[in-house]
């Protein structure tokens, strides 16, 4: 009886974000982080899979080239054994099919220099940009026009935050990590921007040692909680935890649980979270006051995503930069990204079994605390630039 009415609500909601439910392989025609700059040395070749696209990246004289990581001859991957005879091409290790880095056109075949295929075959290339110490690739349709700016797919500059470190600014310290997680990318987004998932962090060292207690969760308290954030450079987002539009829940009488008053001193619960297309989370105030974290949940395929975390801090001189480095290496990375965030990874992987059926997105029993997830789904349904099809479909 009650179940039936809840199901109907869920179905109605699902209709409002139907494209999102189909986005098992991610959203296409967006910029995604692929590597840290330091991961591709001069003349290095690396491969990455984003939203089902297998991509090989080569750096020559500082410039980056991205091509489909699959030879048009017999399907071998260049990255399986990188082979480059000169600065303009990449060759397949199997039979020496040699493609131009800039245009993907077949320039020669090692053992058949006059082959009629030469100049005719082509593998696709990908737009690639190196900004803020990171390498971004525009993944989707090869002919998508006009190509949006990288900024449109990054979290925006938060102008009301006086110490906000914007990733692409010169005076910003930025360090981070990325690792594969065995869950669909959406379970990353929907854990990060979920204002009541903090229950799972209650026992983390980071929380316990800070002397603060996390609230039981955050519940929307203003209409802005569910509104779209649309910024001039094209960024589209929604709020997660934000003290101005959410209120902390400190007590549950049924369970006889209440959160003790926070002690004096630096508070780790004063953070602000927002989600941004295509798969970014901005956390102001983490892993410490004055810092910002960006997370990305980049689709690899339908059951895995690459979990990115970078810590950002404004540093106006070398002294501040040295302090930021030390804090990153001793606290932000080991205690924040590794210890604190581990349970987030666990939670996503735990839910994967249930959500491997796409229709489960939309069959939830959402409560007041889930406004941020629903708003995110609607945002993604409204502003995505296309739903990524599975490879070779």
The binding site for another protein (CB under 8 A) comprises 2-3, 6, 194, 196-197, 199-200, 215-219, 249, 251-257, 347, 350-351, 354-355, 357, 360, 364-369
Cβ 66 to another protein shortest distance, Å = 36
Cβ 278 to another protein shortest distance, Å = 22
Q: Are strands 217-220 and 251-252 parallel, antiparallel or unpaired?
A: unpaired
Please tell me the distance from the alpha carbon of residue 78 to that of residue 263, in angstroms, as a whole number: 57
CA proximity to 80, closest of 101, 94, 100, 66: 94
Given the complex with another protein, which of 203 and 316 has the nearer CB atom? 203
Given the complex with another protein, which of 20 and 166 has the nearer CB atom? 20
CA proximity to 185, closest of 47, 27, 372: 27
Residues for the chain: how many in total?
Answer: 393
CB 66 within 8 A of CB 56: yes
Cβ 347 to another protein shortest distance, Å = 6
Cβ 252 to another protein shortest distance, Å = 5
Given the complex with another protein, which of 120 and 350 has the nearer CB atom? 350
Count of alpha carbons within 13 angstroms of residue 19, beta-carbon side? 16
Please tell me the distance from the alpha carbon of residue 301 to that of residue 304, in angstroms, as a whole number: 6
Cβ 211 to another protein shortest distance, Å = 21
Given the complex with another protein, which of 265 and 367 has the nearer CB atom? 367
- List the structure tokens of 155: 């979290």
Given the complex with another protein, which of 176 and 369 has the nearer CB atom? 369
Given the complex with another protein, which of 125 and 196 has the nearer CB atom? 196
CA proximity to 118, closest of 97, 132, 144: 97
Cβ 203 to another protein shortest distance, Å = 10
Q: Are strands 125-126 and 63-68 parallel, antiparallel or unpaired?
A: antiparallel
């Amino acid at each position: 009886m009650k179940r039936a009415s809840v199901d109907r609500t869920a179905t109605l909601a699902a209709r409002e974000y139907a494209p999102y439910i189909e986005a098992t392989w991610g959203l296409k025609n967006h910029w995604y982080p692929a590597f840290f700059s330091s991961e591709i040395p001069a003349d290095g070749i690396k491969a990455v899979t984003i939203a089902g696209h297998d991509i090989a990246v080569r750096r020559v004289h500082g410039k980056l080239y991205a091509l489909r990581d699959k030879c048009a001859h017999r399907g071998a991957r260049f990255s399986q054994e990188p082979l480059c005879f000169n600065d303009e091409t990449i060759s397949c290790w199997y039979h020496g099919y040699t493609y131009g880095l800039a245009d993907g056109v077949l320039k020669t075949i090692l053992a058949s220099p006059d082959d009629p295929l030469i100049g005719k075959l082509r593998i696709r290339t990908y737009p690639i940009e190196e900004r803020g110490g990171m390498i971004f690739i525009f993944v989707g349709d090869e002919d998508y026009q006009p190509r949006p700016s990288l900024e449109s797919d990054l979290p925006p500059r938060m102008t009301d935050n006086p110490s906000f470190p914007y990733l692409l600014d010169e005076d910003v310290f930025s360090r981070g990590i990325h690792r594969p997680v065995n869950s669909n990318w959406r379970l990353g987004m929907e854990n990060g921007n979920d204002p009541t998932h903090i229950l799972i962090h209650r026992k983390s060292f980071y929380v316990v040692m800070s002397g603060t207690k996390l609230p039981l969760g955050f519940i929307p308290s203003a209409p802005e909680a569910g509104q779209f954030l649309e910024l001039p450079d094209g960024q589209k987002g929604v709020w997660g935890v934000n003290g101005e539009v959410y209120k902390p829940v400190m007590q549950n009488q049924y369970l006889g649980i209440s959160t003790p008053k926070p002690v004096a001193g630096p508070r780790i619960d004063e953070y602000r979270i927002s989600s941004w297309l295509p798969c970014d989370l901005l956390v102001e105030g983490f892993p410490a006051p004055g810092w910002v974290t960006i997370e990305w949940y980049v689709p690899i395929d339908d059951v895995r995503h690459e979990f990115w975390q970078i810590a950002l801090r404004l540093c106006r001189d070398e002294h501040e930069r040295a302090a930021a480095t030390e804090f990153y290496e001793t606290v932000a990375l080991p205690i924040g990204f590794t210890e604190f965030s581990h349970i987030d990874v666990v939670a996503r992987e735990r839910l994967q079994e249930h959500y491997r059926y796409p229709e489960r997105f939309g069959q939830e029993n959402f409560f007041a605390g889930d406004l941020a997830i629903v708003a995110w789904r609607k945002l993604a349904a409204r502003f995505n630039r296309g739903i990524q099809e599975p490879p070779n479909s």
